[in-house]
Amino acid sequence: MKITIVGTGYVGLVSGACLADVGNDVLCLDVDPDKIRILESGDIPIHEPGLLEIVRRNARVGRLAFTTDIERAVRHGTVQFIAVGTPPDEDGSADLQYVLAAARNIGRCMDDYRVVVDKSTVPVGTGDKVRAAIGEELAARGAEIDYAVVSNPEFLKEGAAVEDFMRPDRIIVGAGDERAIALMREIYAPFQRNRGKLLVMDLKSAELTKYAANAMLATRISFMNELANLAETLGADIELVRQGIGSDPRIGWHFLYAGCGYGGSCFPKDVKALARTGREAGHDLRVLRAVEEANDAQKRRLVDKITARFGEKLDGLRFALWGLAFKPDTDDMREAPSRVIIGELLRRGASITAYDPVAMTEARRIFGDRHPGLAYAVRPMEAALGADALIIVTEWKEFRSPDFDVIRTALRQPLIFDGRNMYDPAAMRRYGIEYHGMGRH
């Protein structure tokens, strides 16, 4: 099938590459010529395990192509996936200007039946706005061409997006047009051969499902972080509590790890947007307000531990910081706890030597290559050498089992602040390391 993907960001590029990999003829459109140049040169503008190989393989055989030509892209695909950004406005609402601009372009250039699929995370009611925008453009042309609008939200985890697309646990399709539903079933048939995973529902229910899923996961994270803080005060161990509640099948094991807060492009934005949607509909989603407030506070929790140990003034102290990305297997630093922690420590006079396996370039873009007080190491132990303490912010695999004897001797004093509870407190005591986890003892 001929498919057009509008937007070559995280969602668009993963979707386009995976759809091409099962035999579709995919054309990816982006208005940013620099992105297209990168893709046409055989590289990709994001870090995502396994994606580069799929892009190169399908581009080489002609199933995946890239363009900045809007008319060419609209004429190419019977199905047009809109996968552009929906950044938050100052009031927390999702900015739909790029989604609606894509819809208008489709209305201006389409010459035959089109299925327009909202792949971007959008507020409830966006499908109606997309339908209206296309209709207005067709009316301005005096053209009568059939089209359908579908909501098909993505559920991709950064760092595992290819696997999530290729082996989805569910595929949500919000639509009322039977022809469009049939085409969506055809597109996703290769991804559900062992069992049916496609759920058809109305447009607004599909749009709400995406926000509800991310808000639920964010809620679990903030709840566990609040419990960890309480456990710390009471002398309980949040890891034992996690095992006790996770073994209940009604609760399960996912998203029960305490840490230094969630970040990324999805959870913070979607929690804000869903809360805003609620307010606009006359509903104060009080739980979401608490989730957001708890997360904002949790990002500063490590700083609170550091200042409790060293005092509010940190002049003359240098800290090693392992992990800059908001989670492992990505270079994404949007809303990352590391940004808050670095900012707070620098403001108090400390200096930082940071290390991350893949996010160093992004960190330099955010903070600048020569930010006063902030340096970068090419290896984890290089960052630790001579530092007053080690701070763990991202749970990369390579941090799971370091040589603690080397860490103890490398640090000026054997002291670890672990924002991801990667290490066992009892083991740290045996190594002679002073250890501060999140809700551990």
Q: Which of 18, 28, 260, 266 is catalytic?
A: 266
The answer to whether the beta carbons of residues 384 and 390 sit under 8 Å apart is yes
Q: Which residues of 29-40 are buried (b: 16+ CB within 10 A; e: fewer)?
A: bbbeeebbebbe
Q: Measured in Å, how far apart are the chain's first and last C-alpha atoms?
A: 57
Residue 243, SS3 per DSSP: helix
CA distances from residue 423 to 5, 38, 419, 429 in whole angstroms, order as listed = 43, 40, 10, 11
Q: Is 266 a catalytic residue?
A: yes
Q: Which one, of 382, 419, 388, lies nearest residue 402 by Cα?
A: 382
Kindly give, in sequence order, each residue whose CB lies less than 8 Å from that of residue 143, ignoring residues fewer than 6 positions away.
none
Residue 389, SS3 per DSSP: strand
In the chain, what are the helix, strand and coil shares in percent, each to the nearest 5? Answer: 45, 15, 40
Q: Whats the size of the chain, residue-wise?
A: 441
Active-site annotation, residues: 266
